[in-house]
Structure formats: C-alpha cells, structure tokens
Amino acid sequence: MKVTAAIINEANKNYQLEALTLGELYSDEVVVKMVASGICQSDEVVRTGKSSITPLPAVMGHEGAGVIEKVGSAVKDLNVGDQVVMAYNYCGACPSCRTGHPSSCSQWTTLNLSGARPDGSHIFFKADGTPVSSFFAQSSFATYTITNVNNLIKVEPEVDLRLVGPLGCGLLTGFGTVVNGLQPKTSSSIVVFGTGGVGLGALMAANIEGCSTIIAVDIHDSRLEIARELGATHTINSSTEHLGERIAKITGSLGVNYSIDTTGISSVMKASIDVLAIAGVSAPVAISKDSIAFNTFKDLSLTNRKLIGVLMGDAVPQITIPQLIRYHNEGKFPFDKLVKFYKFNDINQAAADSTNGQTIKPIVIMDENYRKEEPIGI
C-alpha cells in the first residue's frame, strides 16, 4: 500500500512529505487510516536532534486517531471500520504488564523507540527499498499506518477522532502522573512547571483529584491565562516574578506537597524539588538531555522528600483514555481549549507554533473528508 508520510530524514531539518510503501501486516497488527494526530514535544526532541532515541529517517507521530482499514489474522475484538485512538505498545506478558503497569514493560524501549519491530523488520519503506523507522509502534504522521493491537483503544462512533489523538500521550502523561504517580491527598497543594499539553493535563487532573492549591508556572502569560481557566488557583510567570518568594507566600512558607516538571530544564527541575514542603513529592516527566545536581541528604532525606519517575503517567491507555473522554464530556477535562487544527501539509508550521508557545496542542488533520459536514476551522 502506498501512503504519504511526514518524514524526518536528518536531525534539525523540517518534516518532508514523501510517498512510502507499507510493509507486511503481521497477524497481531492492523492497518489504520489516519484521521488526525497531535504533535508532542517528544516528536520535536527527535526532529531537532535534542534526542536520538529513534534512528533516522523516521516517521514520527504518537498521538494518532483513525479508522481501522484492515485487521491481522490473530486480531480479536477489533474490526474494519472501528474508530481507534493510538497510544504506546507493550508486550502484555512481563510482570509489569501483568500487574497493570504496561508503561513499565520490560520491552518498552524496544517496542516503542527502536524504530522497528522486535524481530528487526520495518513498517515503512522508501521507493528504493530503504527502511524508515517507526515511532511508538504507530507513526501517526501518515495517511495510513500499521500498528500493534496493544497500541489501540476503541472509541465510540460518536467520538470525534479529530480531537482525541492527544489523549494517547501528552494528556495521558499529565493526567496519569497526578492520579497514578503522585496520588495527591484531598486539599493538598501542587505546582506544575510548564503549561503545555502535559502540564495542563496534570493541572486538570489535580483539579479533579481535589487539590485545593494548584499553582501553574510558565513564561508565557497567554498560557497562564488558560491555566487559570482550567483550574489553577495561582499562576506565576517565572521570567518576571520571584518563584521562591511567590510560592512561599502562597503556601505560608510551608512549600508545596507535590510538584511536576514538564520543561526538562536543569534549573527548573531543581526548583521543582526546592519548593517542596516536608514530605513533598516531585515528578520530572520531560524528555531531556539536561541533568541536575542535588545533595541527597539536604534536598531529600532531611525533609523526607521524594523524587519519582513516572513514564506515560503509569497509565493503562485502554482504561484511562475512555475515562478521559468521559471526563471531557462531563466538562471536567476540557482539553479542547488547548488545541488548534492544521492541514497535514502545514505540519512544519504546526511544529513551529508548538515550539514558540503560540499553540499549546497542535493537531494535524490527515483526512479532511472525515465528518466534512462538521467543519473544525483548518
């Protein structure tokens, strides 16, 4: 099958739309006709060369939504025509998977970041036969793709696929980091550093979980305004305000019970620890080459603080994504306020708008005929 895909051929270069060929469909896989995909900063760190987690050339995209076009011979409970959201792949057989923590799958890196299937085979090929890496076993920046059944979450026919792709990564990560990772107590305090898709997903989750003090920190006033709309009780522009003094004033000099860093910037990650109260917990979740230095006794042990790792929100996508759709329908998770839609051939503009802060969550539309009678303003 011939497809059109947005390829990264070299680090720090723009996406190029190219004609590719899909490879063999395995028995536990499906072909998905893509409708839309969110752009996540994980895509951008690979494109810009800040991370080499997946070999190039590659078809990126891991917040996809589409319609099943073909199913493999071993696929059960999914059929041609089903609407699906796509998340990450996992083996389903290791101890982590079998105890409900598939994001801790022992094969997670191989399945999602190696660019190929575990047997080394590829999904995409150029006209000359050159293999092209996949990403998160879905590569949603394409008109059609092949993905594993473990990546898929079936959604109801009335769900608008143009909107829900970002639930597969950024919003899943933010929500799950709060609910599954930090597990905040009712009436506790939390600070979220960075109000992109992950940060605002975390902020909305903190509101759902009953945190009474929810602080959003960013350098973009426009994003902080949205944070207030979504439930932030306080906002701090760290480029114009003194972070430590503001948080001390807000918390009565006690510090916050929980913090999340979504920026990956060394000084911000350190600040997310420094602002913690006694017995506070911090979760850094950004993909970053940066590191931090801290004194384990002074910064952690002396005050009983904890620093935890949370991948993909420690969430089971097949459970959490339908839950997020329900929350959205109930007005509790209004992530539609974060999105802006772009045509597929404007993907480089979408990526640029995300990087410069103009758009919180860009969504590129591959199938403009999907629900054509319901325009979305692209």
| DSSP letter string, 189-216 | EEEEE--SHHHHHHHHHHHHTT-SEEEE
223-278 pLDDT, tens digit each: 999 999 999 999 999 999 999 999 999 999 999 999 999 999 999 999 999 999 99
Q: Where are the domains of the chain?
A: 2-168+336-365, 171-313
Q: What is the CATH number of domain 2-168+336-365?
A: 3.90.180.10
Query: What 3-state DSSP class applies to 147?
Result: strand
> Residue with structure tokens 């036969």?
129
Of 4, 115, 12, residue with least CA distance to 364:
4
**Cβ atoms 317, 168 nearer than 8 A:** yes
* Predicted local confidence at residue 378, as pLDDT: 85
353-371 pLDDT, tens digit each: 998 889 999 999 999 999 9
Q: What is the fold, at CATH topology level, of the domain defined by 171-313? A: Rossmann fold (3.40.50)
**Cβ atoms 155, 143 nearer than 8 A:** no
- pTM of the prediction? 0.95
Q: What is the mean pLDDT of residues 205-216?
A: 98
Residue 288 has pLDDT above 90, yes or no: no
How confident is the prediction for the chain on average, in pLDDT? 96
